[in-house]
Chain A
Amino acid sequence: MSLLEDAQDPVVGRADSAALRDRLKAIWETRPGLVGWLSSVDHKEIGLRYIVTALVFLLLGGVEALVMRLQLAGPNERLLTPEQYDQLFTMHGLTMIFLYASPILTGFSNYLWPLLLGARDMAFPRLNALSYWIYLAAGLFLYAGFVVGAGPDAGWFDYVPYAAQRYNPGVNIDIYALGLILLGVSTTVGAANFVVTFLRMRAPGMSINRTPILIWGTLTASVANLLAVPSVSLAFFLLWVDRQFGTHIFSVADGQPLLWQHLFWMFGHPWVYAIVLPAMGMVSDGLPTFCRRPLVGYTPVALSTVATMVLGFGVWVHHMFAVGLPTLALSFFSGASLFITIPSAVAVFAWTATIWLGRPAITTAFLYFASMIVLFVIGGVSGVMTASVPVDWQLTDTYFVVAHLHYVLIGINVFPVVGAAYYWFPKFTGRMLSEKLGYWNFWTMFAGFNLAFFPMHVLGLVGMPRRIYTYPDGMGWNGLNLVVSIGSFLFAASFLLLLVNIAISLKRGKAAGPNPWAGPTLEWATTSPPPPYNFAVIPTIASRHPLWEAELRETDDRSRLDEGWRLDNGRLAMATTPLDGEPNLIVRMPADTLTPFVLAVGLSILFVGGLTQIWALAGLGIAICIGALLAWFWPSRPPVFTEPAGG
């Protein structure tokens, strides 16, 4: 503390000083050229890369779905062989869950977190870059088999013994196992970065009850990832060892196939919440801007975000209601799965009340956020139905569950994400997306989505199983399947509209200015797009809505955004205390560096070596990793300033 109280004029500056801005730009800007691009650790650059990569995977997964819908448009079709269909539904699932749903949120959070928190970057910028490069590598790794016809084909849940060597001897499952372990490294380091950033990188004065809900969502998801990912990484590692070295971890004796299911779903169910909570945060932060009032029930919504996750660790067995567990255990998990609805209900009523008690301006982003409430409730009540054990014995593994999970993942992830794209695109690019095309985009997506997925509930209730590559005539499924297939193409068309809108608006969009929506939070206090250093001076925060203080007049205190610490003697950032956000350290941030990229390359080579069992290659990968880590940790700078630098 004392060091900051002692700070004299030279360390304090004004945000509108051109000299200061030039100086900061020179310090923080990523160098041009390929090497500069590969070595950037700028959270905005990394965030955009995440978003673009995740969107590419979304489109790939979407095309896979469309091919399946062609096959299923009518009974007994022969467009695909069963093996092709199995690879398609497996790749579709793992693409959407692992390569789209989580990374897209990581992308948005990566871009937005330091801006929302009034920081210059994430806590660990190099870890951030590493997280992206490994994600990209894992994505390419997972697709490597698919493009040569040897993609994973045992479903994303990959149950043994079907996924064991004996029944699945090809390289398909090995690719999945190793690819997912690699991806787990990315998720883990990314999650650790978010947690530490939350604890230490908030602007002075931003106590934890002043952070936006998106921060709570991503924080909660990150903590969950740190606890859940080890389970699946372990499971896939053991599976790979079983397959390659003949161990008997998941051997059929003693019911070990259930060990796989427990390990997988102990990860799998928390993961579901991890890929919706940040998106719910987007809605909680976006809706109020358009409703021109603060979110109703900030504290209950923030607490219910955390409560959802805590409960989310106690419901995994509802994926296993039919495996033959004792009734008492089933009853417990059934009850837990029903009551996890309660914190979600808090958010639903908070959003609805925010609309009712505000004056919503009906923009495209608002439409996405508001419609999400309805889709969330549909996905929620179908979740309640599957939480009821005896009903689930009928529903499980039918199209009812397919409908349910798509209402959850598209309703609570994709709709908020597209809404967030409309909301924050101006911040990312400095240009507005076209609202006119936006309306078309929204209504096509809303109609296409419901046409494609609502009838699936009925298909499930009349007994159509999941994961079948074809179905016989005379089951009463033909008409609905045709409707679903038509809906899915309409839904896909809406993504084309989104891409067209992005392409046009990037070139010809209306200039956005710093705060086109008159939003309340810190990201709108800087230019669009933000400068490499985010904020010329470190802001000091006095409330939850720094940019609405004059209008809301909640307290007499005012945030200071135009005047503050300059921290312009090198790449410096302010670290604050975990709860109250009192400034207590000035941290020197790392410069752009190739080490994260090289480390990711080394790790990838190690995994390719493991897959091909060319151990020399694996050794080379390890050597590169060690080299990169040595460079990474080479003590070249004092990590933390104890005295503020002058001038």
Chain B
Amino acid sequence: MNRLAWGVGLTTPMSYLRTYGPRADPVTGLTWGLTILSLAVIAIVTGLVLAGVLLRGRRASAAALAAPAERGASGLAWISIGLGLTVVTLVGALIWTMQALAMVDSPLTPPHLTLEITSHQWWWEARYPGGPGQSFATANEIHIPVGQPVMLKLAAADVIHSFWVPSLTGKTDMIPGRVNIAWLQADRPGVYRGTCGEYCGVQHAHMALFVIAQPPADFEAWRRAQTQPAAGGLAPDAGQGAAVFAARCASCHTVRGSPAHGADGPDLTHLMSRTTLAAGALPNTIGALMGWIANPQALKPGARMPATYLSGPQLAQLRAYLETLR
């Protein structure tokens, strides 16, 4: 049964034929409705044309081609009946559309949580605002509590991107110079895949994000962990790795609790708590991470992260340090 659901696209990661939240569900019904209606219209017209050709058509003989033209019936009834059916159908589609639009357009409750999402070429910055010591940023993964409405303030740091998590919500463009609002709510725990919906340059293909919906208690635990700065008291090689990081990585990346506070790349304070690297391009394994650092351009050509040219020992020290960023 699960295989079947996957095979017909109901449960594939990016499908919106089945959705899991009130921002998407009314639209999903409409999508199905219009799809079935469309297939019916196609079937009717195809049937009409095919039947007309089969019943009335003749082989293209010289005689058939030269047959005298006839005035024939006016046929205007075809147009008026056809038009009548079309208009009724379209009015129905319009009413349903407006109904669905109203259901997903206006928020029903005040947001439980407001997040600031900023898109970059080619990754996502997710900022959880809060008081001193409560605010933090993460990247490419958005944790939300299940069953609660979350408001997203969507901005873009460079070019136009589009926020899209198909099983939770349709697209909202992220346009430099503007802040657009979108809402998210997941009705059951899970990992929902999203991606950038607007062409934004060479690595548009590798700009995934993940919405991780957790039971409220788990979410609060995650949130508390994220507010913590990076652990201090490092072992010697990790300490040397921190120095490598400060020298080579800190101008772009932040690690809270360390001197590194670059803002061009993702905040790495809790890097090891994430499931993927480079906006979903790689799994977050230590091997993939070190491969990425050694030569990001081979894995994601055109990415903004340059090759680092670190020596073997430096890479090993950096690895020891990064492994502490839990």
Contacts and interface: CB of A to CB of B under 8 A. Distances in A.
Contact of A257 (B9, B45, B175): B175
A361 interface: yes
A565 B80 CA distance: 43
B71 A394 contact: no
Given A462-B14, A467-B199, A467-B204, A254 B60 contact: no
Contacts of B221: none
B308 interface: no
Contacts of A474: 13
Interface string B96-109: 11101100110000
A360 to B, nearest CB: 5
A476 B12 contact: yes
Contacts of B70: 292-293, 358-359, 551-552
Interface in A599-636: none
A518 B69 CA distance: 9
Contact of A384 (B34, B196, B203): B34
Interface stretch (A5-13, A233-241, A370-378): A370-378
A125 B178 CA distance: 50
A551 B68 CA distance: 6
Contacts of B42: 374, 377-378, 381
Contacts of A552: 69-71
Interface in B79-109: 79, 81-83, 86-87, 90, 93-94, 96-98, 100-101, 104-105
A327 B12 contact: no
Nearest to B106: A327
A190 interface: no
B177 A255 contact: yes
B178 A255 contact: yes
Contacts of B176: 161, 252, 257
A252 B101 CA distance: 29
A458 B71 CA distance: 44
Interface in A469-522: 469-472, 474-477, 516-518, 520
**Which interface residue of A324, A390, A552 has the most chain B CB atoms within 10 A?**
A390
A559 interface: no
Interface residues on B, range: 35 or more
B172 interface: yes
A372 B297 CA distance: 46
Interface stretch (A193-201, A333-341, A531-539): A333-341
A471 B206 CA distance: 8
A475 B14 contact: yes
Contacts of B64: 359, 361
Interface in A134-160: 154-155, 159
A527 interface: no
A161 B158 contact: yes
B67 A359 contact: yes
Contacts of A252: 176-177
Interface of B: 6-7, 9, 12-17, 24, 26-27, 30-31, 34-35, 37-38, 41-42, 45-46, 48-49, 52-53, 55-61, 64-76, 78-79, 81-83, 86-87, 90, 93-94, 96-98, 100-101, 104-105, 121, 158-160, 162, 164, 166, 169-173, 175-178, 180-181, 195-205, 280, 301-302
Given A297-B75, A462-B14, 10 more contacts: A254-B177, A292-B68, A345-B82, A354-B75, A355-B52, A360-B56, A361-B64, A370-B49, A381-B42, A518-B67
